[in-house]
Amino acid sequence: MSFVLPAWVTITKKSRCHWLIALLLFAAVGVGAARTMLGSFAVVMGTSMAPTLASGDTVFSTPITGSVDRGDVVILKDDSNDYAIKRVVGLPGETVYIWRGYVYINGRILIEPYVPKRTYTFPRRRNAVFKLGPEQYFVLGDNRPCSADSRQYGPVDRGQLKKRVQLPETAGRAKFGPLVVQPYGTIRRVSAPDLG
Q: How far apart are CA 94 and CA 139, in angstroms?
A: 13
Q: pLDDT-based confidence at 86, cuts 50/70/90?
A: very high
Can 55 be counted among the known catalytic residues? no
The CATH class for the domain spanning 40-195 reads mainly beta
Q: pLDDT-based confidence at 195, cuts 50/70/90?
A: very low
Q: Exactly one of 2, 40, 48, 162 is catalytic; which is it?
A: 48
Question: What was the pLDDT predicted at 22?
Answer: 67
User: Where do the domains of the chain lie?
Assistant: 1-38, 40-195
pTM over 0.85: no
Q: pLDDT-based confidence at 136, cuts 50/70/90?
A: very high
Q: How far apart are CA 4 and CA 22, in angstroms?
A: 29
Quote the mean pLDDT of the chain: 83
Average pLDDT, stretch 26-37? 55
Q: Exactly one of 61, 86, 147, 150 is catalytic; which is it?
A: 86
Average pLDDT, stretch 170-179? 84
Q: Which residue has the higher pLDDT, 132 or 193?
A: 132
Question: What was the pLDDT predicted at 125?
Answer: 76
Can 13 be counted among the known catalytic residues? no
- CA distances 138 to 38, 70, 194, Å, are 26, 9, 24
Question: What was the pLDDT predicted at 79?
Answer: 78
Q: How far apart are CA 134 and CA 162, in angstroms?
A: 18
118-140 b/e with 16+ CB inside 10 Å = b? eeebeeeeeebebebeeebbbbb
